[in-house]
Structure 1
């Protein structure tokens, strides 16, 4: 009967193959040749995942070198099929001009319980080994996983979401379209809020809004670097770049206006405008002023989500230097030289802005 199966395969008579194998599986369920034919039938009829399962089982259990070789060849054929399908899908996803703009793919946090199955799916979709895939899945916050053509990022996002891996894609051009205003100070906070702010052309004006317009808050710390003299292992003096302090940032998102109000302890004019603590000392520190401002925002925006995992996100984002260099940061800190931390914060805040809009 095995010869009849082989002959039916030669004729591409898969209906006969299925009928013959149904009987053979009942008679010889553990026979590796029968199982090899079962895998091949799955492969020829488009049931690729089922075929892969059979071939991998044979590689684990079979002892016959010929059977193992044929199972390995089957897996190679499946990979070639998957690669062709992937290339065709990506080509289709990037066919239009807008799909060739720069985009990013972001992985969202997963529980430890969900990571094992998610890692297997990520490995299959992105062609990784399971161990490497598991290391890519974040337990907290977001991970910038890939950059490339926005159509390709959208395709991979759809594939991952279908595999129950939380993720999203974004077009960097959409982040660049968001207005970012540097807030100088609050003029009034009730019933309507009014701030003095500066746009990206250094034009100063006022902006009025209501607290209900604020959909998200994004907080982050940006390192301030200084060149300091240090001793090496041989007690020789040398210049080193070290983090001396951190600048505090807080973004308020106004989606209806497609705008971000950016507050920073380095540029906010605390002596001007509304005081946030009437009981403060006559000469409060900058840190005290900033903490009072955040406390005030907490009171006004109790139901507004606060995104504060920027430093976790930056650990992955800083690896994409070329992409970050092209992104305008809207960060106005005095620096001796540019740093990727500034556009990384703009990217994080912009992604929160776009993610919440979906």
Structure 2
């Protein structure tokens, strides 16, 4: 019957070949030649994943050189077809006039139980080794995986999401368009008038003003520690000057997101005027910055109990600090005095901005 199948293939009578193969699969399901013809039928039907699976099984389990050669050729054809399909899809995805805007693709956390299967899918979509794919998938927080044209990034994001790999992408423009208000102090809180909160702040042009909002408008809260560096000078025994940059301290930031107003309210421990406005000091002896900041965050916890707190900034930042080109396009809005610019500052605004844009989608 295999001769009949071969004859049907020569005549391109795939309907007859399929009928014959169904009979052969019942009679001799483990015959490598039968499997090879089944893979060819799957390939011709456009079922490339099924065909690829059979071809790979034959490569692992067969010693017949003729079958091995045809299986390799089949895999090569499938790879060429899928690569052409991928390029065509990317070309279509980047044809929009805004598709070339710079953007980022972010991977979200995935549980360890799902990582093995997810890594295989991730590797196939992104054309990388499965071992490397597993290392790239985060178990906690986010990982910025790729930068580039937003059209292409959206194409990959859709492929990953269809394979249950959580991710999202955003343009840098969307983050830059978010207004950032630097909070000077909380001026007023009136529980009798729908718990309205009024604060004094400056806009991005350093103009002083006030803003009143309801706690229900706050949809996210982002917290982060930014390192403060100092230059340490050591003198060796040979009187050689050795200069090193070390972390001297950390400064704390807290962002409140008001998506309907398209703005972020940014609190900073060193610039907040604790002696002004609302008195939320718990003790008389609260002169240290840390105690004052803790009192402020405790007050925010009480007023915004339902708001999710995003606090995985540090592990996110540590994976992108070498992205000089991308980070150079992000205005940090942190207003920190530094002797030299630090990528930690735009990294925090990027993290907060990504939280903002993701929650707005």
TM over 0.5: yes
1:324 aligns to 2:327 (yes or no): yes
Could you report, residue by residue, the CA deviation over 1:113-160 in whole angstroms, capped at 9, with x for unpaired residues?
Answer: 111111111011111121111111110001111111111111111111
Evaluate the alpha carbon distance shift between residue 66 and residue 167 of structure 1 in structure 2; reply closer, same or farther with a 3 A threshold.
same
Residue number among 220, 233, 242 corresponding to 1:229 in the alignment: 233
**Residues in 1 aligned to 2:164 and 2:240: alpha-carbon distance in whole angstroms:** 55
Evaluate the alpha carbon distance shift between residue 29 and residue 230 of structure 1 in structure 2; reply closer, same or farther with a 3 A threshold.
farther
Residue number among 285, 302, 305 corresponding to 1:299 in the alignment: 302
Q: CA deviation at 1:349?
A: 0.5
1:253 aligns to 2:257 (yes or no): yes
2:266 corresponding residue in structure 1: 262
Q: Is the 8 A contact 1:266 1:333 kept in 2?
A: no
Per the normalisation by structure 2, the TM-score is: 0.94
Q: Is the 8 A contact 2:282 2:295 kept in 1?
A: no
2:188 corresponding residue in structure 1: 188
Q: Is the 8 A contact 1:145 1:316 kept in 2?
A: no
Could you report, residue by residue, the CA deviation over 1:24-65 in whole angstroms, capped at 9, with x for unpaired residues?
Answer: 222322221221111111111100110111011111111223
1:35 aligns to 2:35 (yes or no): yes
- Secondary structure of 1:298's counterpart equals helix
1:10 corresponding residue in structure 2: 10
Q: How does 1:142-221 map to 2 (within 5 A)?
A: 142-191=142-191, 192-221=196-225
Extract unaligned runs of 5+ from structure 1. none
- What is the total number of aligned residue pairs between the two structures? 357
- Secondary structure of 2:186's counterpart equals strand
- Secondary structure of 1:332's counterpart equals coil
Extract unaligned runs of 5+ from structure 2. none
Q: How does 1:67-216 map to 2 (within 5 A)?
A: 67-191=67-191, 192-216=196-220
Per the normalisation by structure 1, the TM-score is: 0.95
Q: Is the 8 A contact 2:230 2:247 kept in 1?
A: yes
1:240 corresponding residue in structure 2: 244
**Residues in 2 aligned to 1:280 and 1:104: alpha-carbon distance in whole angstroms:** 47
C-alpha RMSD of matched pairs (Å): 1.7
